[in-house]
Structure 1
Amino acid sequence: MERKKLSGKERKARRKEDLIKKKVVDECVKVAYSKDDHLTEFPAFLKYQQNGLDLKMESQKGDTLSPSLKQYIQALLKLNMEGPYGTEWPAEEKIKRREMVATEARYIIIRVTQGHDSGFSQDQYLWYGFGEPVVAFVQFRFVVEEDIPVLYVYELQLEKSVQGKGLGKFLMQLLELIARKNNMRAILLTVQKRNTLAMNFYKKLRYAVSKISPSKVDPLVGAEKSYEILCKAFDLEAKSKLEESLLQTN
């Protein structure tokens, strides 16, 4: 069946419509970045006090990170990700160091509440700076994918001392709230295929392999890639452009 050719007037109207839509999407991202602290809109998520943990959240920006925070982020990334990346890690570590301090990078830093007896001695933390120990962090950005404004999770990194206690799920719930509050229409993130713990974690949270993941764009090329892009969309258009199918359950 042949597609009807658009007239000049119709093409002009279509271009105008596309430009208006792009302007709306770009403005959405701009407004999201204009906020200094996204946590203030969710006071119930400023603390995490469950399963023996007493933690608090704080916002940071990539271009204003203190030297001690930079050192901590680098150390936790290497500890958690060197294994999943394997031989790719040296090159990937250089990329992550640049991403870490980008102007667009937004962080949620998770610290142990002062005076809380977590059951761990100071030498069991990676943190060696001043103040309350940092035990986890999230890095995210607001970007546009397939003409859809999305919150992209660059990193979700937890120390072993706080893993398996619901903190990761709590942080992903917080990110979903931040995304929706700022009119982002999906959450995207990248996971190494060999990182089975992370894959299973996101599967439980009902993330799907995205249509923009290499394995979906071109299966032959995707088979050679070490990662998948996962997605959770919030509306029908975002689902149709970004989502594929839910991760397979065993």
Structure 2
Amino acid sequence: MSTMLDTYQDSATIKSLEREQSTYLKAELKAEFPRYIEARNHELKIKTNIIDVGSISTNELNACLDLIDHNLGAIYARLHGPTWKMDKIKEMKDSGLIYILLKDNSTEVSSKLAGFLSMRILVDGDLSVLYLYEIQLDKAYQNNKIGSQAMKHLSTLPDKINMNRRYLSRFYPLDGISLTVFSDNLGALKFYQAQGYKFSKMSPRDKKLKDKTVEKPPYYIMIKYSSAAYL
């Protein structure tokens, strides 16, 4: 099946098409994602704010970067060196990205960033996927089912988008949701596996060495397939 992304390959047009895909994604998120995430601690009131990368403020972007630093900064520094934040902030401004900001609205005066998700639609190898760039929660809000609830609602998106005939007239159906996880981040790895994610066929894998030790890659690529992937 030929799509618009097959026809036009210059970078300006591709960015325009990425923004178009982003428009479909944002519309589906606003239709399907709840206004509030239900936490285990019922006193928490976690409000969702869906926003595209062109509209996110510098303060919000920096707050998201701080969360990444607090949660994964040591791993990023070890793998990418002391200037990793410069590369990360560029990635966080990628064309077509959609952010879901999770704000703590438990009190009238509080609107703290409890966490965020960022994602966009892209082609990864021979798959068209909703790629989850980040899901980060402030440590004070972890273990409250906020992350698992967010992932549960996100999991319906590929099938919902694949029901949109206008989208399918221009782009490939989505094969699922894909993400990258550091091999050292065992907690995140178990979390994604519990959500139904499996290693992608394109993922780096562990290697058994001659001395029988196991050498892990820096990261794994995981995927949760949509219904379209089985057709």
> TM-score with structure 2 length normalisation?
0.76
The equivalent position to 1:107 in structure 2, one of 74, 99, 113, is: 99
Q: What is the CA–CA distance in structure 2 between the aligned matches of 1:207 and 1:149, rounded to whole Å?
A: 16
**Alpha-carbon displacement from aligned partner over 1:157-197 (angstroms, at most 9, x marks no partner):** 00011101111111111221222211222110000000011
Q: 2:3 aligns to what?
A: 23
Comparing 161-170 with 30-39, greater Cα deviation is found at 30-39
Letter in 2 for 1:215: R
Q: What is the CA–CA distance in structure 1 between the aligned matches of 2:87 and 2:28, rounded to whole Å?
A: 26
Q: What is the CA–CA distance in structure 2 between the aligned matches of 1:92 and 1:188, rounded to whole Å?
A: 22
Structure 1 residue runs of 4+, over 6 Å off?
Answer: 24-30
Structure 1 residue 61, shift from structure 2 partner: 1.6
Tell me if 1:63 matches 2:54.
yes
How does 1:67-216 map onto structure 2 within 5 Å? 67-89=58-80, 90-113=82-105, 115=107, 132-183=111-162, 184-215=174-205
Q: What is the CA–CA distance in structure 2 between the aligned matches of 1:239 and 1:226, rounded to whole Å?
A: 30
Q: 1:26 to 1:138 in 2, by over 3 A?
A: farther
Q: 1:225 to 1:165 in 2, by over 3 A?
A: same
Bigger radius of gyration: 1
Q: Which runs of 5+ in 1 are unaligned?
A: 1-20, 117-121, 123-130, 241-250
Letter in 2 for 1:193: S
Partner SS for 1:64: coil
**What is the Cα-based RMSD across aligned positions, in Å?**
3.0
Q: 1:81 to 1:40 in 2, by over 3 A?
A: same
Partner SS for 1:95: helix
Partner SS for 2:129: strand
Partner SS for 2:111: coil
Q: What is the CA–CA distance in structure 2 between the aligned matches of 1:148 and 1:31, rounded to whole Å?
A: 18
Letter in 2 for 1:61: D
Q: What is the CA–CA distance in structure 2 between the aligned matches of 1:24 and 1:187, rounded to whole Å?
A: 21
Q: What is the CA–CA distance in structure 2 between the aligned matches of 1:154 and 1:205, rounded to whole Å?
A: 16
Structure 1 residue 66, shift from structure 2 partner: 0.8
Letter in 1 for 2:200: S
Q: Percent identity?
A: 25
Is contact 2:77–2:83 with CA below 8 Å preserved after alignment? no
Comparing 57-66 with 26-35, greater Cα deviation is found at 26-35
Structure 1 residue 112, shift from structure 2 partner: 1.2
Partner SS for 1:214: coil
Q: 1:6 aligns to what?
A: none
Q: 1:126 aligns to what?
A: none
Q: Which runs of 5+ in 2 are unaligned?
A: 8-16, 163-173, 210-214
> TM-score with structure 1 length normalisation?
0.71
Q: 1:100 to 1:148 in 2, by over 3 A?
A: same
Name the structure where helix makes up a greater proportion of residues.
1
Name the count of aligned residue pairs: 203
Q: What is the CA–CA distance in structure 1 between the aligned matches of 2:140 and 2:216, rounded to whole Å?
A: 34
**Alpha-carbon displacement from aligned partner over 1:26-74 (angstroms, at most 9, x marks no partner):** 799775322354432126x211233222111011122322121022011
